[in-house]
Amino acid sequence: MSELTIALDMMGGDIGPPVTFPAALKAAQAYPDVTFLLFGHQDAIQHEFKKRNISESDGIMSRMPIVHCEEVVGMGDSPASVLRNKKQSSMRKMIESVEQNNAQACVSSGNTGALMALAYYRLKTLSGIDRPALVSRMPTAGQHRVFLLDLGANVTCTAETLFQYGVMGSVLAQQVAQIEKPRVALLNVGEEDIKGNAQVKMADQIFKNANSVNYIGYVEGTEIFSDAADVIVTDGFTGNIALKSSEGLAKLVINEVKRQSQKSFLTRMMARAAMPLLKKIYNRVNPDQYNGASLIGLRGTVIKSHGNASSDAFYYAIGLAIQEARMQVPEKIKASIETVLLEQI
């Protein structure tokens, strides 16, 4: 029996099994003590096994059981309609396997809104947590990546919710990035006390009164990438825009490298000469590399992979799920929130 079971939504993303299967197979090879439940249409998944001549006699298949699901959540389906209908979808069945403790974590690159809705209604939030948050690790100039949350689970947030995000982010930085006392900051339009909107100013006060969080104050947008903090907290609207706009700029740089280097023979030569250098930089700032956002605050681990993610990115997201499941992140968040609540009595 495997130590750990991870549920995978094989039908998620723009492509489905041709992208998700290679990642699942690579994960099964890399983590020999983990079982992967493959949720999706059995024909499509079996086709991927056959294409690679993998049969029952290969040991690996026993750790990759298929859980046949009739339905698929489309990228354009509204969360409400997915909740009401699509009860046989691979995404819902995957979430239910975590709810029923048949798996310790799950990964999908499907429709974000539907995944969040299903996770929220089936898994429920931990006690003391109002709303789940979507968190991702962004590259920085320093040694560690920075945990940025919320990236869009909740477009409006109260000050209390922002504070809970700080507590959850801090646990994640401790458990996943092994940072002993993570520096927690609030994203704001300036560093002075007078700056910011009402929720941010109120959250600042709550953080200042909480001893169990290493709160360092406000940071500005430029500081997301400058290693100024280990955890940066903001509402889901702003966080989503910060993530996407920096992604947009990274893409502009990548396109600009391509465009400029194709301008003439000379620039093609220049680009070729510097290719290993450009690739290293690309790997550090390419949004695909920081793919794999965790939905935290729930009674189970849910990882969201980009909808247009490559197999490599989906593989990376599976690795993140394994890491969070092993570290028992939900249990640790629960314990941490209880400490904070006791502190406030």
Q: Find the shortest distance in angstroms from Cβ 317 to its own copies.
A: 19
Give the β-pairing of 215-219 and 4-9.
Answer: unpaired
Letters for 276-315 (x = contact with its own copies by CB under 8 A, - = none) are xxx-xx--xx------------------------------
- Contacts of residue 14, defined as CB under 8 A and 6 or more positions apart, other chains included, come to 75, 307, 308
Among 30, 60, 273, 335, binds its own copies (CB under 8 A): 273
Shortest distance (Å) from residue 329 CB to its own copies: 25
Measured CA to CA, the distance from residue 126 to residue 193 in angstroms comes to 32
Q: Which amino acid is at 198?
A: A
Q: How far is the CB of 139 from its own copies (least distance, A)?
A: 7
Helices (H), 177-307: 198-208, 236-261, 265-273, 275-285
DSSP per-residue codes, 85-151: S-TTBHHHHHHHHHHTTS-SEEEE-S-HHHHHHHHHHHH-BPTT-SS-EEEEEE--SSSS-EEEE-S
Q: Quote the least distance from Cβ 136 to its own copies, whole Å.
A: 13
Contacts of its own copies in 18-37 (CB under 8 A): none
Query: Which residues lie below 8 Å from residue 113, measured CB to CB, with a gap of 6+?
Result: 78, 79
Q: Does 255 bind its own copies (CB under 8 A)?
A: yes
Give the separation between CA 248 and CA 148, rounded to whole angstroms: 17
Residue (99 or 150) nearer to its own copies, CB: 150
- CB closer to its own copies out of 51 and 284: 284
Least separation in angstroms between residue 153's CB and its own copies is: 10
* Rg of the chain over all Cα atoms, to the nearest angstrom: 21
For position 216 contacting its own copies by CB under 8 A, the verdict is: no
- In three-state secondary structure terms, 167 is helix
* Residues 37-96 contacting its own copies, CB under 8 A: 76, 78
Distance of alpha carbon 186 from alpha carbon 234, whole angstroms = 6
Candidates 2, 197, 205, 209: give the one binding its own copies (CB under 8 A): 197
Q: Minimum distance from CB of 112 to its own copies (Å)?
A: 9
Contact between 313 and 281 under an 8 Å Cβ cutoff? The reply is: no
Instruction: Please say whether the beta carbons of 204 and 153 come within 8 A.
Output: no
DSSP string, 28-50: HHH-TTEEEEEEE-HHHHHHHHH
Looking at beta carbons only, is 112 or 175 nearer to its own copies? 112
Shortest Cβ 10–its own copies spacing (Å): 24
Residues 150-189 that bind its own copies (CB under 8 A): 152, 155-156, 187, 189
Nearest distance from residue 20's CB to its own copies, in Å? 23
Selected from 4, 15, 257, 327, the binder of its own copies by CB under 8 A is 257
Does residue 284 contact residue 142 with C-beta atoms inside 8 Å? no
Give 188's DSSP letter.
-
| x/- track of binding to its own copies for residues 220-249 (CB under 8 A) | xxxxxxx-------x-xxx-xxxxxxxxxx
Which of 5, 90, 136, 261 touches its own copies (CB under 8 A)? 261
Interface residue list for its own copies (CB under 8 A): 76, 78, 113, 139-141, 152, 155-156, 187, 189-190, 192, 194-198, 220-226, 234, 236-238, 240-253, 255-257, 260-261, 267, 270-271, 273-274, 276-278, 280-281, 284-285
